Structures are given as C-alpha cells and as structure tokens.
Amino acid sequence: MLPAPFDVLPETAYRVLNLDAGETLFRQGDPSRGIFYLITGSVRLLRFARGGETIVVHRAGPLETFAEASLFVDVYHCDAILEQAAQLVELRRDPVLRQFHSDPLFAMALTSRFATQVQTYRRRLELLAVRSAQERVFTALAEGFLTGDIKTFATEIGLSHEATYRALSHLVRRGHLIKTGRGKYCVKTT
Amino acid sequence: MLPAPFDVLPETAYRVLNLDAGETLFRQGDPSRGIFYLITGSVRLLRFARGGETIVVHRAGPLETFAEASLFVDVYHCDAILEQAAQLVELRRDPVLRQFHSDPLFAMALTSRFATQVQTYRRRLELLAVRSAQERVFTALAEGFLTGDIKTFATEIGLSHEATYRALSHLVRRGHLIKTGRGKYCVKTT
DNA sequence: TTCACCTTATGATTGAAATCATATCTGATG
DNA sequence: CATCAGATATGATTTCAATCATAAGGTGAA
C-alpha cells in the first residue's frame, strides 16, 4: 500500500485517515505529527500573507507525499486543507525517525527519494524557464514528461492545452517530432 | 568554507577544484565521484535529446550544490559543463556515504537539507503557476523570495525585471505593498 | 443506435508580458 | 572629483500564449 521506502515501516508507524473536502488536516503552528501520503483526493497547503491573502504553497494530489520537512522541524509551517475528499496515510514522526536511526538502508532510501525529488523539481523549474511554447513542449517530450494525456502534460509544463496542441503540430510539421498515434508523439531520431 | 551539513566532513572527504569556462566536470555515464558545491562561478547540467538538441537540465550558481543524487546512483545521468570559470568543492561519494552511516546527526541534517529543498522548489513551482505578474510578485514577496536585488528576484519568479518593477509599482499604488527603500518592499499589514 | 461527454485539434481574437529604448540613481574605482 | 558599471525605473512597441469558439474523433452508457 505504501510506496518505497515507507513500505518497510511497521504497522504501528502509520494510520489511514479518511477526510472530507474542506476538512483541516493540520494548521500552521501545530506540533508536527508526521509526513502524509495521499492515496486518493487532494490537499492544499496554505499560508497567509500579512494582508490576509491566502497563498497556496503547494497542492498535493494522488500518490504524492507532503509535509516531509515536518520530520525535522517541530511545528507545521502552513495549513493543510482538504481540497477533495481524500484517503491518506499519516506516517507518524517518531516511528519514522526511529526507523531512520536504526535502519541505514531506510535512511539511505529516504534520503535518496528526497534527492531524486530535488532533481525532478529542478528539471521542471528549468523547463518552465523556457519561454517559447514550442521549445518547452519539445524539451518536455525529450525529457519524458508526456506520460498520460495531453491535457495533464500541458498543465505540468505550464501551458494551456491549446498552446500545447499547436506546439505539437508545429514541431511535427517542422520535422522535430513524429506523431505515433492519437495523443502520442516521440522525438525524431537523427 | 563548506555549508552545513557538510562542514563536519573530514578534510579527506573533499577537494577544491578550479576550472575554466567551457571545461567538462563530468559526462553522462561517468561513474559518479560525488556531490559538488559551487563557491563561485556557474555550471550547466546538460542532457542530449535524440535529435541531437542540447537540453539544459539545470544551471547551478554560486553557493549551490548539485549532483546530489549521484550519492545514490552509480553514474551521472547528465553532462556538467562550466558556464563560467568556477571554484568548486568536490564532496567525494565514499567518504560522504561513510559519514552518513556512522554519524546519525549528519544523516539527519543531510536528509533535512534535501527535504527543505524539495519544499522550496515546490513553492517556486506553485508560484510559477500564478499567471498574473502582479499576483506572482505579491505572492513571491509574501513568501520571502526577495532577498537580494530585484533582477535576481525577477529571474527566480520567472518574470522580466521590467515586468517585475512595473508589478511592484502597481502593487504599491494599489496599496498592497509598502516601499521601504530603494529596491526594498514589504507586504502591507492589515 | 443514440446521446452525452471528454480528448484531440485548429481558427480568431485579445491581452498581458517580453522586448526595446531611455533615463536616473547609486556605488565603486582611479 | 570624474567616470563608469550596474541596479532601478518607466514608456513604447511587439509578440506570443491565453482565451474564446468550434468541430471532429473516440468512448461508454442508456
């Protein structure tokens, strides 16, 4: 049920929660209980500007973890509000830290997970820095971002789906991409 | 000289390198030697699309680390080319891993560093999803992204510096921000 | 089969940010 | 002090992606 490396944790280290849309998982300043893993649904992490405006710090979706840093700090630094009803796993802080200290493989795997995420996010940031839609779509494709459907792909790379379709057409017409099927494209091999 | 948590590493764990612009630090497929920390200068991490096009996976600047994931994988997955001449520290893989296993505090600190980075990158990605320049600038300010000068700030939040200056002016005129000095702004308290 | 719905796809219009241009202010340096 | 480089700042123009509109192709359910 849990993704690696959390699958080695004993049953006492986590519990499954079912929450409705709009419910609060934790609030800024609450003592940190642990990391969370979303099975289904979505959660918004919110902070509040001094003027009172709400700032969405992050939006977590299915199969994602969030609040990882809470392992190493004492309190949550933002609010977590359920966007959609969700089933999620609370990975309790103390048992996870205990595992971290007693099990070097777990420690390594956890660190490796974070390091890989850092890498992935950097790639996405670099991608979003590309101004031209065509170049961005091409790069994203070459980097393997197109896994599901085009609309999801478009959202991930920060373009409207129309702009994405257009860029794809242009790239095919200009010979940089090959269309291998409905909604399927691949980078042309030299 | 080294930032936490690497400052606890023994001298044998690292060495300082001086490289010129254009030099290659490592190539895709090279056995991974370790993490790098840039003192000055900049490095581009590049991958190559099948069509032969160069893709910038990441650009690292002064005081940044890169190739963190190399600790946990055997080979580099991209090229590292010096953009500007740089002084950098090579944190050798084996000694770092040894420290990781023998020193739980180091392990924790390293993991915490990565977790915090993940958090920061997620915030930046969320920020880049904000379409309006004014809203983006406001959010970025409220989130504390303005640390150095405005041009750096502008780059970080994916706007031209002109658009950023304009957005700042508008926000001040509309009463959302207070200008506290040349290039200094703060969010208005309710 | 028919209907509804979603994805894919493309055309037309618009708006907002990039770009180009210019000027002032500040700090560093000789 | 004079000069120069860079940051700050704003105006004018252009560009390009968002948006709005529309339609064909596919899929699943009644």
- In this prediction, residue B122 carries a pLDDT of 95
Is the pLDDT reported for residue A114 higher than 80? yes
Nearest to A16 by CA among A30, A2, A32: A2
Does the pLDDT of residue A190 top 80, yes or no? no
pLDDT at residue A156 in the model:
94
* pLDDT at site B96: 98
Strand partners, A187: A177
Q: What secondary structure does DSSP assign to A31-43, as a single string?
A: BP-EEEEEEEEEE
Q: Which residue has the tokens 């160069």?
A: B54
How sure is the predictor about A53, in pLDDT bands with cuts at 50, 70 and 90? confident
Distance in Å from C15's C1' to B79's CA comes to: 40
pLDDT band at A125 (very low <50, low <70, confident <90, very high): very high
CA distance A120 to B43: 18
What residues of chain B lie within 8 A of the CB of A188, using their CB?
50-51
Domains in chain A, CATH or no CATH each: 6-103 (2.60.120.10), 130-187 (1.10.10.10)
Contact B4, B109 (CB under 8 A): yes
User: Is the CB of A149 less than 7 A from some atom of nucleic acid strand C?
Assistant: yes
pLDDT at B66: 97
Q: Is the confidence at residue A34, as pLDDT, over 90?
A: yes
Among A111, A17, A149, which Cα is nearest to B100's? Answer: A111
Residue in this structure with the two tokens 């290039």, named with its chain if needed = B183
- Closest Cα in chain B, distance from residue A61 (Å): 13
Question: Looking at CA atoms only, how far is residue A15 from chain B in angstroms?
Answer: 22
Phi, psi (degrees; rounded to nearest 5) at A110: -65, -45
> Is B129 near strand C, with its CB below 7 A from some atom of it?
no
How far lies A182's CA from each of A165, A185, B85, B109, B124, in Å?
Answer: 12, 8, 47, 47, 33
Compute the average pLDDT of residues A53-70: 92
The reply to whether the CB atom of residue A50 sits less than 7 A from any atom in nucleic acid chain C is no
The DSSP 8-state label assigned to residue A19 in this structure reads E
**Dihedral (CA of A168, A170, A175, A179) sign:** positive
User: What is the reported pLDDT for A188?
Assistant: 85
Which residue has tokens 């959609």? A84
Q: Which residues of B touch A111 (CB under 8 A)?
A: 71-72, 100, 107, 110-111, 114
Q: What is the DSSP letter of B75?
A: B
- Overall average pLDDT of the A148-163 stretch: 94
Q: How far apart are CA A76 and CA B155, in angstroms?
A: 29
Which segments of chain A does DSSP mark as H helices, in order?
93-102, 104-128, 133-142, 150-156, 161-173
| Tokens coding A119 | 């890498």
Q: What backbone phi and psi angles, to 5 degrees, belong to A74?
A: -85, -30
Ranges of residues in chain B whose predicted pLDDT is under 70: none
Residue B66 contacts residue B87 (beta carbons within 8 Å)? no
B85/B74 Cα distance (integer angstroms): 27
Chain A interface, best mutation among B114, B135, B190, by max A CB count within 10 A: B114
Q: What value does the CA radius of gyration of chain B take, rounded to a whole number of Å?
A: 20
Write down the pLDDT at residue A49. Answer: 81
**What's B56's DSSP letter?**
E
* AA identity, residue A141: L
Query: With 0-12 CB in 10 A as exposed, 13-18 as middle and 19+ as buried, what is B7?
Result: exposed
Protein CA at B32 to nucleotide C1' at D18, angstroms: 43
What pLDDT does residue B50 have?
A: 78
User: What pLDDT is attached to residue B98?
Assistant: 97
Residue B77 confidence (pLDDT) = 94
What is the per-residue pLDDT for B94?
97
* pLDDT (0 to 100) of residue A51: 77
